[in-house]
Structure 1
Amino acid sequence: MAENRRGLGRGLSALLGDVAETIEDGGAGVPAERREGAGVLEIPIELIHRNPDQPRRVFGDVELIELTESIREKGVLQPILLRPSPKTSGEYEIVAGERRWRAGQMAGLGVMPAVVRDLDDLQVLEIAIVENVQRADLNAIEEALGFKALIERFGRTQEAIAQAVGKSRSHIANTLRLLQLPAEVQEHVMQGRLSAGHARAIATADDPVALAERIVDGGLSVRDAEALARKGADKAKAPAARKSSGGGSKDTDTAALENDLSEVLGLDVSIVDRGGAGELRISYKTLEQLDDLCRRLTRAG
């Protein structure tokens, strides 16, 4: 991993890559043979157990089968990271590398190459989240649940999490908001039927479940999802707008210009013209949308 990763990202790189450093065997009396290169152990696969707090819950069948075949042909190229089991003496818990461990079991391996470290629960959770986020292994809901656990169980702030995983604070906040979506929509994201972009686009809609079904059934893009959400919001605002304007409507040119700008920016745009002077209003629903707009305006400048 790149050395310029911030926070735990750099620490994880050291843990996984710097196996030249001699480490202690975390389980006294455990049958573990050292491989070439100090610090890497051959741990009997039956003594290794998954981390129950692992943020990744969904493992794709296709990629797991492909990794299994690769391990059968070439072996495990990168050791997994373990800690001594906090529950059973002489056994180990996975900190990073569960997919390799699963594939190793499927490939019929008797031992797994591993690095063992003494880590507490907070370090284990943070490392698991960092590894999966940096490798894009988590779907958005898994990522959000991991962030939520860091906040609720260990008192981490959004800013601290952002520094640890190398993301912006707005990314953390917007990801956490996905947990407010109905369970049916979250399940679509978990199973890969909806992307995080889709989910954010419909997060504030009146009926996100119906919109999610429409997006999944039609294979719609994120831009299509945003357009659908805007249409629903426009319909909801229309009666109030007519009432406040006394039943008047904007001229065709102004409405067309609003539509053109909305298409370009992907945001709601409203023009209030008062005889040649007025206001241009751009509405955003998330901090990520605001960040994107600021980047566009800065580049344009």
Structure 2
Amino acid sequence: MNEDPTRRRLGRGLAALIGEIDRPSSAAPGSEQVVREDRRVPIEFISPNPRNPRRNFAEEDLADLSNSIREHGIVQPVVVRPAAADGRYEIIAGERRWRAAQRAGLTEVPVIVRDVDDRVALELAIIENVQRSDLNPVEEAAGYQQLMEEHNYTQADLGQVIGKSRSHVANTLRLLKLPQSVRDMIIDGSLTAGHARTLVNAADPEKLARRIIEEGLSVRQAEALASEPDAQEGAPRVKREKDADTRSLEKLLSDHIGLKVQINHKEKGGELRVGYKTLEQLDELCRLLQR
């Protein structure tokens, strides 16, 4: 099969843009990507891209950036493309900066204008966000899926364009097979992408996801749990293996207070359990804690 000449041109065009997406530069003679000069544009003339793969903007991050912009202005211009003949623009990269600038009360923002089509605009948005780790894994997967559906990309094509391995693309796309409830856990950070991928073929991924979070299981333990035939039927909970440091700390605390101490690590934080057999032991523990 002959290589698609559009893809060959695309690779060279993106090579000139990746890493310089929000810095003005001059287009090389014969280049397909026309880069216009840096300028300032009224903020109301700029609109977000409805196809932007990034959907989540943390309120705390926006507030912090807004305060910084109010104090120092926008350091990196917003990358846009012409949206209409009336001087309006659509964001390619920098929507978070644009949102924060509105909160900061700016009336205009610095922009760099690039003449690119829908396909390249989407690619640049994905690349810019991936390089800055701004996309959560679900948003990244949705962006890949969009390129595949709308522009007939293969997983190998995507890997080449975004600078990731084909296996990374394939594993990321698998997350879209999970129910929305599990994807929400990935988006809010309570479940990692590595844990979530072990649940793709599970009969009840949401139930297993909650067990993984509650018990603070490792990815290997999650794989073992998901592979159990009776995992959905109230199988015994997976016993978390404790490292030598944790066991040593448990012994140190137990020897010090004279009671059995258990330390259980979870995905976020953990718990410390102290067991007692009599009320006298409980009273002694309370006295120790009060001291």
Q: Which bracket does the TM-score occupy, shorter chain normalised?
A: 0.5 to 0.7
The structure with higher relative contact order (CA 8 Å, sep 6+) is 1
Contact 1:202 1:226 in 2 (8 A): no
Rounded Cα–Cα distance in structure 1 between residues aligned with 2:80 and 2:115: 8
> Aligned AA for 2:225?
K
Measured after TM superposition, the shift of residue 140 of structure 1 is 0.8
Match of 2:120 in 1: 123
Rounded Cα–Cα distance in structure 1 between residues aligned with 2:220 and 2:95: 36
Match of 1:21 in 2: 26
Residue 102 of structure 2 is aligned to residue 108 of structure 1 = no
Residues 205 and 52 of structure 1: CA distance in aligned 2, closer, same or farther (over 3 Å): same
Q: How does 1:145-224 map to 2 (within 5 A)?
A: 145-218=142-215, 220-221=216-217, 223=218
Residue 77 of structure 2 is aligned to residue 79 of structure 1 = yes
Rounded Cα–Cα distance in structure 2 between residues aligned with 1:171 and 1:234: 26
Measured after TM superposition, the shift of residue 200 of structure 1 is 1.3
Q: Secondary structure at the match of 1:78?
A: coil
Q: How does 1:88-103 map to 2 (within 5 A)?
A: 89-103=86-100
Rounded Cα–Cα distance in structure 2 between residues aligned with 1:9 and 1:59: 28
Rounded Cα–Cα distance in structure 1 between residues aligned with 2:222 and 2:135: 27
Q: Normalising by the residue count of structure 1, what TM-score does the alignment of the two structures yield?
A: 0.66
Measured after TM superposition, the shift of residue 204 of structure 1 is 2.7
| Count of aligned pairs | 215
Rounded Cα–Cα distance in structure 2 between residues aligned with 1:112 and 1:162: 33
Match of 1:231 in 2: 225
Measured after TM superposition, the shift of residue 71 of structure 1 is 0.7
> Aligned AA for 1:114?
V
Q: How does 1:33-72 map to 2 (within 5 A)?
A: 39-72=37-70
Residues 75 and 233 of structure 1: CA distance in aligned 2, closer, same or farther (over 3 Å): same
Rounded Cα–Cα distance in structure 2 between residues aligned with 1:140 and 1:170: 14
> Aligned AA for 2:200?
A
Q: Identity across aligned pairs (percent)? A: 44
Contact 1:80 1:113 in 2 (8 A): yes
Measured after TM superposition, the shift of residue 20 of structure 1 is 4.9
Match of 2:249 in 1: none
Contact 2:208 2:226 in 1 (8 A): no
Rounded Cα–Cα distance in structure 2 between residues aligned with 1:183 and 1:20: 41
Rounded Cα–Cα distance in structure 2 between residues aligned with 1:54 and 1:190: 16
> Aligned AA for 1:115?
I
> Aligned AA for 1:51?
N
Contact 1:9 1:130 in 2 (8 A): no
Residues 172 and 128 of structure 1: CA distance in aligned 2, closer, same or farther (over 3 Å): same
Aligned CA-pair RMSD = 2.5
> Aligned AA for 1:70?
S
Measured after TM superposition, the shift of residue 235 of structure 1 is 4.4
Match of 2:247 in 1: none
Match of 1:246 in 2: none
Measured after TM superposition, the shift of residue 196 of structure 1 is 1.0
Contact 2:21 2:128 in 1 (8 A): no
Tell me, which stretches of 5 or more residues in structure 2 are unaligned?
Answer: 1-10, 28-35, 232-240, 244-291
Residues 194 and 231 of structure 1: CA distance in aligned 2, closer, same or farther (over 3 Å): closer
Measured after TM superposition, the shift of residue 73 of structure 1 is 1.2
Contact 2:198 2:226 in 1 (8 A): no
Residue 141 of structure 2 is aligned to residue 144 of structure 1 = yes
Q: How does 1:243-262 map to 2 (within 5 A)?
A: none
Residues 95 and 173 of structure 1: CA distance in aligned 2, closer, same or farther (over 3 Å): same
> Aligned AA for 2:143?
G
Rounded Cα–Cα distance in structure 2 between residues aligned with 1:142 and 1:232: 24
> Aligned AA for 1:122?
R
Q: Normalising by the residue count of structure 2, what TM-score does the alignment of the two structures yield?
A: 0.68
Residues 217 and 108 of structure 1: CA distance in aligned 2, closer, same or farther (over 3 Å): farther
Rounded Cα–Cα distance in structure 2 between residues aligned with 1:165 and 1:20: 21
